[in-house]
Structure formats: structure tokens, C-alpha cells
Amino acid sequence: SAVTNGDSKPAPKFDPTFTQNVINATGPKASPRIRQVIGSAIQHLHDWARENELTVDEWMAGVELINEAGRMSDDRRNEGQLVCDVLGLESLVDEITYKLATDASDAPTASAILGPFWRKDAPERAMGDTIVSGIENGDNTWMHGQVTDYLTGKPIEGAVLDIWHTAPNGLYEQQDPDQPDMNLRGRFTTGKDGKYELYCLRPTSYPIPFDGPAGKILQLLDRHPYRPAHIHFIVTAPGYKPIVTQIFDRRDKYITDDAVFAVKESLIVDFEPLKGNPKADFELSYDFRLATY
Ligand code: MBD
Ligand code: FE
């Protein structure tokens, strides 16, 4: 019978063997993981199309969106990743990959998504240095803490803290021609005591780029593009599992409404007013706990 979307017509029946034929086309040399993951993706995609009676026009609109994400992407903008972020997919795979990290206080520091704005080769800076340059209107913050082994509590020497965050105008330096190259980024290496200290800004909430496909999805879903104020970190140390994470400002109005669903309770921090330090108006104390392999 004809396929229609009419309310009074019975739901269309589709040939149930079609999807199995597509999956069975997989050849013998496909690796077991590829066979499993892509076979499953085919099954879910087909079920999704059938359940929603997806039309050719709707499917093509999705294809255009994917193509546009590809066209927009370069080494400064990863639109494909941003599309995944607004759909919650990067946060979900983070959770799946790092399920060992829990919110318990004696667990390793929880992970959070990398996001599209990390850059390799951030400048190596001396302990106690600032990552801020050329910004007059920021809330300077003294950030400090210790990197420890989460089981023994022992300080970790030679841990590298790679940090990055946005300027008060809501832009990472690579999005903003007015910021110096590598502004608000740096790498700091701990000494014997595992301690670190640096100067950064108290960040502000900011809208993720919404002039492309990710923004289009937000608009179609009647959603806002804001992320709560956050600072990104990758913490690495010889013999330890690297941690990719972010910390979030408790007082931010988007703390319970992150456009990319990355906030975890143990990653929420308090910026405390700081007196008597000419270099900063806020203090932030945060420790990182790493697990061995
Ligand atoms: C960001 O700044 C970010 O950190 C993530 C995860 C996604 C989009 C923009
Ligand atoms: Fe970010």
C-alpha cells in the first residue's frame, strides 16, 4: 500500500529484511569493532528514519547541514564537534570513556569535554606567571592548588597543567584578531611539592559560535547558545592517566543550563574575593587528583 503521513491511514509497513541486507553487506575483512559499531549505527539510523517517516526533503536538509559544518571547519573552527556538543554527544562519550571518574571526593578529578578551542603548543610559562595579556577589563584571579596521586595523596612532580579560557568579550584568542596569539593559554609544570600557581581571569558566561549549523540547530530547538563561565585544563604527568576537564563558576547564571551539557558537581568552584594582592581581585583554589594506569 502507498506510504503516506495521513492521520487516518494505518502506519506504513516497511520491508523488515532491508536493514539486515545492508548490515549483511559488511565483508569478512571488516574488523570486529567496525562491524559492531557501524552495523549498530546502520540499525539505529534505519529505525530512526522509519519511526519518524523521514522524508527525502528532511533527510537532504540534514545532509546540507553536515556539508555546511564541513565547509566551515578549519584549524580554528571545528563545527562538526560543535554540532555534536549541542546534541550532548561529546558529553555522553566523555562519560562513557571516563566512567571511572566519579564525583566522590577521593576519586580522581572528574573529566569534562575538550571542546573545539584547545590549541596544541600553548606557551610554557614559569610557575606564578600570568596567562593574561592586553586585557584591561578582566577580573584578575590568583589560581593555585596541588596535583596529587588520588590513591596515596602524594604530590606529583613534573605534572603539566595546560590551561585555556575566554576573554571577557566571550572569545578565545583564535576567534579574536584583537587578542595576542596564545593569549589566556599556558602550560605550567609542577615541582617536587606538586603545587602550581598562576594568574588568569575570572571568566564570564559566553555564547558558543551560533552563526553556523550548531547555531541553526539551537534556533530550531528554541535553545540559547550560552555556556556557564569555565576554565579548561588538560593535566598530564608521567605514569598517570591524563585528565581533560573544565571547572565552572558556581555563581554563573547558566551553571544549571549549559548549552553543551558539560557541568559536573565536583567541577563547580568558588572564586573568593582577594584582598592585599595588587595582581588579583579573586582567589581560586583547586586541586587535581590523578590515577595511575
Ligand atoms: C566551548 O568553549 C566549549 O568549551 C565547548 C565544550 C563547546 C563549545 C564552546
Ligand atoms: Fe570552552
Q: Give the three cell numbers for residue 232.
A: 579548561
**Ligand 2 center from residue 50 Cα (angstroms):** 36
CA distance 280 to 62: 48
Burial 192-219 (b: 16+ CB within 10 A, else e): eebbbebbbbbbbbbebbbebbbbbbbe
- SS3 state at 174: helix
What residues are neighbours of ligand 2 (ion), with CB under 5 Å?
A: 115
CA distance 291 to 289: 7
Q: Are 273 and 140 in contact (CB under 8 A)?
A: no
Tell whether the model's pLDDT for residue 108 goes beyond 70.
yes
- SS3 state at 143: strand
**Residue with CA nearest ligand 1 atom 4:** 115
- Most ligand 1 atoms within 8 A of CB, residue of 117, 164, 184, 211 to mutate: 117
- 176 forms beta bridges with none
- Most ligand 1 atoms within 8 A of CB, residue of 92, 205, 208, 245 to mutate: 208
Q: What is the mean pLDDT of the chain?
A: 94
Tell whether the model's pLDDT for residue 24 goes beyond 50.
yes
For 159-171, the DSSP string reads -EEEEE---TTS-
Atom of ligand 1 nearest to the CA of 112: 6
Nearest ligand to the C-alpha of residue 114?
1
Q: Are 48 and 42 in contact (CB under 8 A)?
A: no
Q: Higher model confidence: residue 137 or residue 161?
A: 161
The stretch 77-106 carries a mean pLDDT of 85
Query: What local confidence, expressed as pLDDT, does residue 107 receive?
Result: 84
- SS3 state at 57: helix
Query: What local confidence, expressed as pLDDT, does residue 1 receive?
Result: 45
pLDDT tens column, 30-86? 999 999 999 999 999 999 999 999 999 999 999 999 999 999 998 888 999 999 999
CA distance 182 to 121: 9
**Ligand 1 center from residue 81 Cα (angstroms):** 9
End-to-end Cα, the chain, rounded Å: 59
Q: Are 110 and 267 in contact (CB under 8 A)?
A: yes
Instruction: Give the percent of the chain with pLDDT over 70.
Output: 94
CA distance 191 to 213: 44
Tell whether the model's pLDDT for residue 5 goes beyond 70.
no
Query: What local confidence, expressed as pLDDT, does residue 239 receive?
Result: 96
CA distance 36 to 23: 10
Within 10 Å of residue 223's Cβ, how many Cβ atoms? 14
Distances (CA, A) of 114 to 71, 245, 281: 22, 7, 28
Query: What local confidence, expressed as pLDDT, does residue 152 receive?
Result: 94
CA distance 250 to 50: 43
Identify the CA nearest to 219 among candidates 205, 207, 204. Answer: 207
Distances (CA, A) of 195 to 44, 157, 162: 48, 8, 14
